[in-house]
Amino acid sequence: MSSFWMSILKPRAYWAKWLVFLIMATVLALGAMGHLEFLKQYADTEELSFNLGDYRISAYKALKVVLTVVFIFWVAAIVSGIAESRIGNFTKIRASNRAIILKFVQIVIYIVSFLFALDFLGINLTTLTIFSGALGIGLGFGLQKIASNFVSGIILLLEKSVEEDDLVEMSDGTAGFVRKAYARFTLVETFDGKEMMIPNEDFITNRLTNWTFSNPRGRIEIPIGVAYGSDIEKAQELILEAACAHPRCISDPAPKCFLRNFGDSSVDFILHFWVEDVTVGRWEPQSQVMFEIWRKFKECGIEIPFPQRDLHLKNPETIKVTSDG
C-alpha cells in the first residue's frame, strides 16, 4: 500500500507520469469549463453526501479534491525529477554537495505544493496552530525514527563522512560500497551484490569504518607460523620478499614483518603490507602473497608447522600390560 502512494506522489516511469498528468489535467480542465455537470448531478446528491461539522462533503467534492491534490503533488514530483536531472549534470560540484542542493530543492517544492493544496481546499493556515501540539507528539512517538533518520542523513551530507562510492564497514560486519544516499536510508551494495538499505541513524549512532574516508589505501595483515629449528631470520627475509614482489604492494609505507610470539608449536610472525586502492580488493593480494610465501618456504626447506604435543610419562614402570589367558 505504501508503495502505491509513493508511486502517486513520486512517479518513476517517464511516459506514464506524463500520460497520467495529461489525463488529470484534461479532466480538471473539463470540470472547470462546466463539461462535467452530468457527473455532478449524479454524485453531488444528498444520498451521496454527509456533514462534517459545518462542512457538507459529497462524493463529487471528495473526488474533485482528491484529483486536484494528486495533480498538485504529481506536478511537484515532475518538477522534482527535472530538478534532480539538472542538478545531476553539475559535475563540477561534489556528489555530496549535489545531494544537499537536491534535498533542499525537493523540500521547497513539496512545501510549496502542500501550502498550495491547503489553499485550494480552503483551509486557513492559522487554524493549523491548533494541531501543532498533536503534530509534535506525533513526531515524538510515531515519527521518531523517521525524523531521526532524516536528520542523520542531513548530518552525513554536511559532514561528508560517508559519500557515494565509499567503502564502509558497519559494526555488525556488514561491508560494501555506498551507492546512493536517500532521506531515510543509505543504499550500500555488499561484495556479493546485495543492495542493503541501512537507516541513516546507524551511521551516526554506531561505530563505522570508512576505508576510503581520507585516502583509499589499506593495510593487509597476514599471520605466519614457522617451525622451531628453522632459520627464522631467513624466514623473515622470504616473507618480506614475497610481499615486495606483489604488484599491488606499495613502498610507502614499506612492508614490515615482526616476530610476535614463541608459540606452543611455532615461532609466530606477522606481516603488514599496504595496497594503493583498497576498493579494488584485499583478499586477492593477501591470497597471492600467501601462495608466494608457501612456495619460497618449500624451496628453502622452511616448515610451516601444525599443532602437536609431546607426552612425557613420569613413572613408566607403573604401566602394566595385561592379557587374558
pLDDT: which is higher, 19 or 284: 284
Statement: residue 166 has pLDDT above 70: yes
**Domain-located, residue 139:** no
Residue 241, pLDDT above cutoff 90: yes
Residue 150: what pLDDT? 78
pLDDT of residue 102: 76
Instruction: State the pLDDT at residue 2.
Output: 45
Q: Are 173 and 263 in the same domain? A: no
- Banded pLDDT at 97 (limits 50, 70, 90): low
CATH of the domain at 295: 3.30.70.100
Task: Give Cα separations from 233 to 49, 134, 248, 295 (angstroms).
Answer: 94, 74, 25, 17
Residues 116 and 21 in one domain: yes
Q: Omega into 253 within 30° of 0, i.e. cis? A: yes
Is 129 among the domain residues? no
Report how far apart, in Å, the C-alpha atoms of 243 and of each of 34, 220, 266, 295 are. 82, 10, 21, 13
Same domain, 37 and 103: yes
**Same-domain check for residues 92 and 12:** yes
Same domain, 7 and 115: yes
Question: Does the pLDDT value for residue 272 go beyond 80?
Answer: yes
Q: Answer yes or no: do 119 and 6 share one domain.
A: yes
46-60, 239-253, 295-309: least confidently modelled range: 46-60
Mean pLDDT throughout 201-213?
87
> How large a percentage of the chain has pLDDT more than 90?
21
In a domain, 185, yes or no: yes
Q: Round to whole Å and give the CA distance between 128 and 72.
A: 20
Any idea what the CATH number is for the domain that residue 197 is in? 2.30.30.60
Tell me the three state secondary structure of residue 138.
Answer: helix
Q: What's the pLDDT at 141?
A: 61
Domain edge (last residue) among 97, 123, 149: 123
CB atoms within 10 A of CB 168: 22
Question: 8 and 113 in one domain?
Answer: yes
Domain edge (last residue) among 173, 191, 210? 210
Nearest-angstrom CA–CA distance, 199 and 175:
14
In a domain, 70, yes or no: yes
Q: Are residues 181 and 231 in the same domain?
A: no
Indicate if 103 and 25 belong to the same structural domain.
Answer: yes
Give pLDDT, residue 60: 64
Residue 149 lies in a domain: no
Range of the domain at 184: 160-210
Find the range with the poorest average confidence among 112-121, 148-157, 208-217. Answer: 112-121
Judgement on whether residues 118 and 164 belong to the same structural domain of the protein: no
Q: Does residue 317 lie in a domain region?
A: no
Strand-pairing partners, residue 180, are 187
Phi, psi of 5 (to 5 degrees): -70, -35
pLDDT at 32 over 70: no
| Shared-domain flag, residues 222 and 183 | no
Selection from 110, 249, 95 nearest residue 181 by Cα: 95
Phi, psi of 276 (to 5 degrees): -70, -40
- Residue 279 within any structural domain of the chain: yes
What pLDDT is attached to residue 69? 75
Asked if residue 21 and residue 88 are part of one domain, the reply reads: yes
- pLDDT for residue 55: 58
How many domains does the chain divide into?
Answer: 3
Which of 38-42, 144-148, 152-156, 235-239 is the most confident on average? 235-239
Nearest to 198 by CA among 221, 212, 210, 181: 181
pLDDT of 1 > 50? The answer is no
What is d(CA 321, CA 323) in angstroms, rounded to the nearest whole number? 7
Q: Would you say residue 58 has pLDDT above 80?
A: no
Quote the cell numbers at residue 166: 565509499
Q: Compute the distance between CA of residue 149 and CA of residue 145 in angstroms, rounded to an integer.
A: 6
Please check the confidence at residue 65 and state whether its pLDDT lies above 90.
no
The yes-or-no verdict on residue 175 having pLDDT over 70 is yes
Cell numbers representing residue 58 in the block: 459529497
Residue-wise pLDDT tens digits, 66-92: 777 777 777 777 777 777 777 777 766
| pLDDT surpassing 60 at residue 317 | yes
- How far apart are alpha carbons 322 and 274 in whole angstroms? 63
Q: 6 or 316: whose pLDDT is higher?
A: 316
Residue with the larger pLDDT of the pair 139 and 111: 111
Q: Is 128 part of any domain?
A: no
